[in-house]
Amino acid sequence: MHEPKPIARAGKRPIVYVRRVDVADLPDDIRAEAEGAGLTQLYAIGNEEGEQLALVRDRELAFVVARQNDMKPVSVH
């Protein structure tokens, strides 16, 4: 069963980082799916430990997904 991290249980929203990713830099299976949809870039949502949590179509969606999951998104340039 999924256990929330202690910081989430304390009522604080964890920070996640949103950054643009070139589809060409992704693993073959993900790249093929993205290219099949006509995409050349995706946006990654990652946690403070560097773990990638999600890939989404655009920056706005990345922020929406993070907020819907009680996370605080921050842009990474």
Per-residue confidence in pLDDT tens, the chain, 77 aa: 455 555 455 568 999 999 999 999 999 999 999 999 999 999 999 999 999 999 999 999 999 999 999 999 999 97
- Domains of the chain, by residue range, sit at 6-75
Specify whether the backbone of 70 is left (phi greater than 0), alpha (psi in -120 to 50) or beta.
left
Number of other residues whose CB lies within 10 A of the CB of residue 74: 12
pTM: 0.81
For every residue of 8-65, DSSP letters joined together read HHTTPPPEEEEEEEEGGGS-HHHHHHHHHTT-SEEEEEE-TTS-EEEEESSHHHHHHH
Q: Which neighbouring-strand residues pair with 16?
A: 73
